[in-house]
Structure 1
Amino acid sequence: MFSLPSFAQKAEGGSFSTEVTVKKQLNYLLHKPDNTRQPKPLIIFLHGSGEKGNDLEKVKVHGPFKYLKDHKLDAYVLAPQCPENEYWDEEVLYRLIQKIIKENKVDINRIYLTGLSMGAWGAWNLAFAHPDMFAALVPIAGFVDRVPMIENCKIQHIPTRIFHGLMDDVVDVSYSVNIYKKLKTCSTDIELTIFDDANHDSWTRVYDDPAIYEWMMQQRKNNNQE
């Protein structure tokens, strides 16, 4: 009879504690409505990778600040600028939004989140990190991380409008299609619009149209979660 020798296993339990402090800085533009005596909605816009840096004029190239050059919005519009060589950090963004809420008369039931390309990726991540903050979500031409794909129903109560170009050769349209399919199983209000003739820039026609702002402004968090 053959038997293998037995070896006593030695395992020690332990715990490890550390504190990591990282300083982050975000520059931003904040548009304020004409009348701020009453609480007003807040639109948060996250730009794409081409507008990174420390020149705030870049965040006016696309999105709501471009729209504001020729139109009015009765809302606060917050456009942070992602530093060069960084990506959107949802916790830094969350703290910035909290600061804006604290310092201004923001209607906390009407906070809207939108972004294009890298900004849409950031918007997805921010919405999943803090799903109770937003009354509407509008991601355009965005990559979607694995976590939102898995936890899709976490934001089922947020009315969502997704846009993408069919011929997008930077961020494949399949990302928007797949997250839409997952959210469709549980979301109470979601739509996907695919522009057949658009490449990566599927955002200009969305942000230049008053319809998306009108739709956002109609959304209220209290109504969505009843």
Structure 2
Amino acid sequence: MSNFTRLVGLCLATFFIIISLSGDLNGQIVAKRVAAITGHLVPFLQYKPSRHDVSSPSRKYPLIIFLHGGGERSNKISLTPVFPDSGYAPVWQLRAYGPLRELGWHQLNFPWNNRTDAFIVLCPLSRAGTDTWPTEYIDAMINYGRDSLKADTNRIYLTGHSYGGAGVFNYLNSSSANVRKLAAVVPMAAWNTALRNTGANYVSAAKLPLWAFHAMNDAVTKRDTTIYSINRLNAVNPQA
């Protein structure tokens, strides 16, 4: 009987530890929405470092903006994380993609400039029926990070996968001003939208670091979009 009691106690202790860790993690990821310049409400998930709110006002954190793939697009702007009810907020699906997916392993702390730094992460939800990521949604995240969080405007990193990777290229194509808002970009498996000549010129002029990824055997989003984009950039002799 005593062995059984100890086993039950161990199981309960493990259960409550897991619950407490999950609660702490969920407490750091919150769903919010903000208005874009077009008036559209943009739902997004926000993660901020544990010391963000108690650190000095002068303390700034690097910001990652992650753009999801086409399968997650939705016009639902609810923020309630109710599963598996049909009324759930699709924005909460974004926990399974990009940087937020890594939070079970570490708290996005990385060494930089002889100190450990932590990232703010914002993951907006694109509306359904769009062929390209709305650039105003990305601007809404940049403005929110600058105005409502302690985002370092000199260290804003834009990345995305598939439809989101194309969204990165689309943002770079849109204007030289957009390019100059960013510290680096990482498009992954970009779909449908490539870096055009104007975008390549903007990136080169701004000396913006760009690191693109694409599986050579990708049967869904063809590698040609990424290869074409990198060739266009190399053709204008980008400066390091």
With normalisation by structure 1, the TM-score equals 0.69
Say whether the 8 Å CA contact 1:144–1:179 is kept in structure 2: no
Which of 167, 171, 179 is the matching residue for 1:126? 171
Letter in 2 for 1:39: K
* Per-residue Cα deviation, 1:183-211 (whole angstroms, up to 9, x for no partner): 1232235xxxxxxxxxxxxxxxxxxxxxx
Higher helix proportion, which one? Answer: 2
Q: CA RMSD in A?
A: 1.8
| Mapped partners of 2:129, 2:192: distance in 1 | 20
| Mapped partners of 2:137, 2:124: distance in 1 | 10
Letter in 2 for 1:48: G
Alignment: residue pair count? 168
| Mapped partners of 2:167, 2:101: distance in 1 | 20
Say whether the 8 Å CA contact 1:29–1:56 is kept in structure 2: yes
- Superposed, which structure 2 residues align to 1:71-82 within 5 Å? 71-73=106-108, 74-82=118-126
Does 2:230 match 1:184?
no
Query: Which stretches of structure 1, 4 residues or more, deviate above 4 A after TM superposition?
Result: none
| Mapped partners of 1:93, 1:132: distance in 2 | 14
* Per-residue Cα deviation, 1:70-102 (whole angstroms, up to 9, x for no partner): 211111000001123334210232133212211
- Displacement, 1:22? 5.1
Match of 1:105 in 2: 150
Query: Sequence identity, in percent?
Result: 29
Letter in 1 for 2:104: K
* SS of structure 2 residue aligned to 1:162: coil
Unaligned runs of 5+ residues in structure 1 are 1-20, 190-226
Does 2:71 match 1:50?
yes
Letter in 2 for 1:174: D
Say whether the 8 Å CA contact 1:112–1:136 is kept in structure 2: yes
Letter in 1 for 2:139: Y
Does 2:135 match 1:90?
yes
Match of 1:175 in 2: 225
Which of 25, 32, 35 is the matching residue for 2:51? 35
Letter in 2 for 1:27: P
Does 2:94 match 1:59?
yes
* SS of structure 2 residue aligned to 1:166: coil
* SS of structure 1 residue aligned to 2:181: coil
* SS of structure 2 residue aligned to 1:154: helix
| Mapped partners of 2:51, 2:239: distance in 1 | 33
Does 2:23 match 1:23?
no
* Per-residue Cα deviation, 1:21-67 (whole angstroms, up to 9, x for no partner): 95312100110012222100000000001122241221111210101
- Displacement, 1:144? 5.3
With normalisation by structure 2, the TM-score equals 0.65
